[in-house]
Homo-oligomer: A and B are copies of this chain.
Amino acid sequence: MVLSIEEIAKHKDESSCWVIIKNEVYDVTEFLLRHPGGPAILLNYGGRDATSAYEPIHSSDAIQRNLSPSQCLGPLKSSDARDLELQEKQRGQTKDEIRVEHAMKQRPPLSRILSLADMEDVARKVLPFSTLSFFSTGSDDEITLQENVRAFERFFFHARVMRPVSKCDPSTKILGYDSSIPVFVSGASTARLGHPLGELNITRGCGNANIIQMVCTFASISKAEIAAAALPSQHLFFQLYKTTNLDSAAKLVREAEELGYKAIFLTVDVAVISTRSRDIKNPWIIEAEEGKTQYYTEGDPDETVNMFGTSTRHASRNYPLDADMSWEVTIPWLRSITKLPIILKGIQCVEDAVLAAEMGVDGILLSNHGGRQLEYSLPPLEVLNKLRRERPDIFYKLEVYIDGGIRRGTDVIKALCLGAKAVGLGRPFMYALSAYGEAGVSKILSILNREIVTAMQLLGAASIKDLTPELVERVDWEPATHRAKL
């Protein structure tokens, strides 16, 4: 059935809601209440073309996973499709689009990116304002976001000299899998907001560098496509956001296992989603720039804003995250449906690290979700340091990782000295792929490799096993800081 713009336009509310995506027409009436992002945004595109909004934030298999064949109504009339294309072309650019286009032309050559901070500088210039807000935001006042980074500044080295280090080997194993440096990609969603190829940039960059990628439930490229893009020798982990729907959750895990993913990282720090003000306020800033500021009038109803900003793209009342997970129930359930190693992502204190060891999980990722969840959660490096001081035995019982705030090779080394098996980075990969695609990902991996090796050599460490707690000291003064941006 070929459908016309006129016909489609009639189906724009809860009674009947159709949308056009890439010149195909879909009936989403029934789906409205199941839409992870909530019905409102879908209704906003009811009866018209939703392609530009849909594309960057859905994985390629989103439609077939969610709609039945009967809900796929058929193609848009081809003359109408041409009209749509023309309209899109004629639509004027927004101020922000103009700014981005200009900034893309002024990117420095890759050879001039010397550090992850340099890469972030470029990304901050070339990213659309809304995407930058989404990538860079933290919760509440972004204290934890900042403290994650600042924690590393408190740890100094006791460098050892006169040790043979010309043959310095930074490689290690993570859950038994080779990794060229003790670094992996921590899960982050919706990379296509930053680059059309989304998470595939990471997959390809990591394949070349022999680095493990953790793929998020809410990746904007399906985990199958990512698996397909990976090299035969390349390893992937799967980051699970568990929903209350057990079947649906189990299906995700089994798919990952079948696709060859090597571990399940169960997200445990998102019982609910925190308020990320920067992300919420961003559209109002854009609005003000365009001279459309709204004002209060007496008696205004307080139509409470969606508190979760761009985050609702992947979780909302319609995609219920399980806020009732428990040690007693959730872990045995997960063990029962997969043979893969289970790692808890989002452990935030020593007590839970100990519990995790007692429950026999394979690893824990000390993380506060990059400062995007509980404000004033202790920085992961501080939790790691406490674990080292209070329960050094735990490091023999499971693998301990951290993520959050790592920006330099010296940061990596500090975590490893304190007992981390490896460290995860999230935002830096989003920035790198947004700025230069796959080449950006390769670049920051190469920078990290260089920085790690240099730091090891100057510390007198020829291999990862030489990185011991005695090499670091948590100083009791307030160190100089250089990191203005986060």
A residues apposed to B, CB below 8 Å? 105-112, 114-115, 117, 140-143, 146-147, 150, 153-166, 268-269, 271-272, 274-275, 277, 280-281, 284, 294-296, 300, 302-305, 307, 323-327, 330-331, 344, 346-352, 355, 368, 373-378, 382, 408, 410, 414, 436, 439, 442-443, 446, 450-451, 454-455, 457-460, 470, 473, 475-483
15 A-B residue pairs with Cβ-Cβ distance under 8 Å, sorted by A, are A105-B295, A108-B296, A109-B294, A112-B294, A112-B305, A114-B275, A114-B277, A141-B483, A150-B477, A157-B376, A165-B323, A269-B458, A272-B458, A323-B457, A375-B410
Measured between C-beta atoms, what is the minimum distance from A480 to chain B in Å? 4
Q: Tell me which residues across on chain B come within 8 A of A284, comparing CB atoms.
A: 112
Measured between C-beta atoms, what is the minimum distance from A299 to chain B in Å? 8
Q: Chain B CB within 10 Å — which of A111, A355, A439 has the most? A: A111
CA distance A349 to B459 in the complex (A): 11
Q: Tell me which residues across on chain B come within 8 A of A106, comparing CB atoms.
A: 295
CA distance A377 to B160 in the complex (A): 10
CA distance A478 to B142 in the complex (A): 15
In-complex Cβ contact of A455 among B142, B307, B374, B473 (8 A):
B374
Interface contact A459-B302, CB-CB below 8 Å: no
Interface contact B158-A378, CB-CB below 8 Å: yes
Nearest residue, chain B, Cβ from A306: B111
Measured between C-beta atoms, what is the minimum distance from A33 to chain B in Å? 19
Interface contact A143-B458, CB-CB below 8 Å: no
Interface contact B347-A161, CB-CB below 8 Å: yes
Known contacts A142-B482, A159-B377, A164-B326; is-contact A305 B455 (Cβ 8 Å): no
CA distance A141 to B111 in the complex (A): 18
Interface contact A111-B478, CB-CB below 8 Å: no
Interface contact A376-B142, CB-CB below 8 Å: no
Interface contact B161-A275, CB-CB below 8 Å: no
Nearest residue, chain B, Cβ from A150: B480
Measured between C-beta atoms, what is the minimum distance from A260 to chain B in Å? 28
The 4 closest A-B pairs by CB, nearest first: A158-B349, A374-B458, A166-B323, A164-B324
Interface contact B378-A162, CB-CB below 8 Å: no
In-complex Cβ contact of A114 among B269, B294, B305, B476 (8 A):
B305
Interface contact B295-A109, CB-CB below 8 Å: yes
CA distance A481 to B477 in the complex (A): 13
In-complex Cβ contact of A482 among B143, B160, B479 (8 A):
B143
CA distance A158 to B294 in the complex (A): 40
CA distance A368 to B160 in the complex (A): 11
Interface contact B330-A110, CB-CB below 8 Å: no
Interface contact B327-A159, CB-CB below 8 Å: no
Interface contact A376-B410, CB-CB below 8 Å: yes
Q: Tell me which residues across on chain B come within 8 A of A382, comparing CB atoms.
A: 475
Interface contact A158-B348, CB-CB below 8 Å: yes
Interface contact B323-A450, CB-CB below 8 Å: no
In-complex Cβ contact of A302 among B110, B166, B483 (8 A):
B110
CA distance A300 to B46 in the complex (A): 43
In-complex Cβ contact of A296 among B375, B436, B451 (8 A):
B436
Measured between C-beta atoms, what is the minimum distance from A402 to chain B in Å? 15
Interface contact B349-A159, CB-CB below 8 Å: yes
Nearest residue, chain B, Cβ from A323: B166
Interface contact B378-A156, CB-CB below 8 Å: yes
Q: Tell me which residues across on chain B come within 8 A of A112, comparing CB atoms.
A: 281, 284, 294, 305
Other A-B pairs beyond A159-B349, A376-B410, A382-B475, 16, CB < 8 Å: A109-B302, A110-B302, A111-B302, A112-B305, A150-B477, A157-B377, A157-B378, A159-B377, A160-B348, A161-B269, A162-B268, A162-B325, A162-B355, A271-B457, A272-B458, A374-B459
